Structure 1
Amino acid sequence: MAQTTDPTHASTEPTSFGWCHWHKGPSGTAVLIQVVEQGSGPGAALYACAPCREQRNLTPYADQP
């Protein structure tokens, strides 16, 4: 039997894994928290998973003023 995908139902499963810079491990819920700009050389982007954001009261970059 062929499986079909219903585009009207969004998946709640994470589609990719990232890295949490706070607990220093892989995460399926990591989002951008801070952008570190440097005068010379590449900058850095720091990501945090959902548990670390909650424990440390971190605000996602997109939600910061």
Structure 2
Amino acid sequence: MDESTQTEAAEGTPTGYGYCSWHKRFADDVRLIDVIEQGSGSGGTHYACSPCREAYGLVPFADR
């Protein structure tokens, strides 16, 4: 039986294809890491793929 090498996202946490703010390329399984409020600058969001989350110890916003 084949086993998945990817970690499962927490139930109800959206994942998808998007831009990883850490390695600056598009990737599968990106998750929201940080939200920058517009009042403290230009505002925006940072997403990270699974390998970057593991490498940099990033915790998805929904899991905090």
Greater Cα shift, 39-48 or 29-38 = 39-48
Q: Report Cα offsets for 1:13-47 as digits up to 9, x if no partner.
A: xx952010000001111100000012177620100
TM-score, length basis structure 1? 0.67
> 2:44 & 2:51 partners in 1: Cα distance?
22
Paired position in structure 2 for 1:39: 39
Higher helix fraction (1 or 2): 2
Higher strand fraction (1 or 2): 2
TM-score, length basis structure 2? 0.68
Paired position in structure 1 for 2:23: 23
Runs of 4+ displaced beyond 4 Å:
none
How many residues are matched? 50
Instruction: From the CA coordinates, give the structure whose radius of gyration is larger.
Output: 1
CA RMSD of aligned residues (A): 2.1
| Conserved 8 A contact 2:16-2:31 | no
Q: Percent identity?
A: 51
Q: 1:54 to 1:43 in 2, by over 3 A?
A: same
Q: 1:24 to 1:39 in 2, by over 3 A?
A: same
Greater Cα shift, 17-26 or 41-50 = 41-50
Structure 1's unaligned 5+ residue stretches are 1-14
Instruction: Map 1:9-20 to 2 at 5 A.
Output: 16-20=16-20
Paired position in structure 2 for 1:59: 59
Paired position in structure 2 for 1:11: none
